[in-house]
Amino acid sequence: MKSCKLRDGGVTCDAPRGYRVQCSAPMWGILCRQPGEQQVLVEDRCAAITLAAKSRTDPGAVIEVVHVATGEVVFSKPPVHALSRGTAHA
């Protein structure tokens, strides 16, 4: 992950930049570089949110996108429950 190279009054900011897509369970999907990862670093916010939105994980797990520099959660994909996966029960 790259660092911010902005200068503020001659001082260089060495804070990390980018976004972390994270999950407590392994993630997989068409956009995942390596299925089964639990954390992926992405420089672009839109790309990170798209990766999270298109990824899947185990029922009950939440996928989040976190801004690395601030720790702010900028996107959260709610958990899918086992019964809501299209399984019909009588």
CB atoms within 10 A of CB 13: 13
Residues in the chain: 90
The pLDDT assigned to 33 comes to 83
The pLDDT assigned to 81 comes to 79
Three-state DSSP at 51 gives: helix
Sign of CA dihedral 62, 1, 47, 32: negative
The pLDDT assigned to 1 comes to 47
Per-residue pLDDT of the chain (90 residues), as tens digits, is 444 444 445 555 555 679 999 999 999 998 888 889 999 999 999 999 999 999 999 999 999 999 999 999 999 999 887 665 555 444
CA 24/CA 60 separation, integer angstroms: 10
Q: Are 53 and 36 in contact, with CB atoms under 8 Å apart?
A: no
Reported as half-sphere exposure (CB side, CA atoms, 13 A), residue 21 has a value of: 28
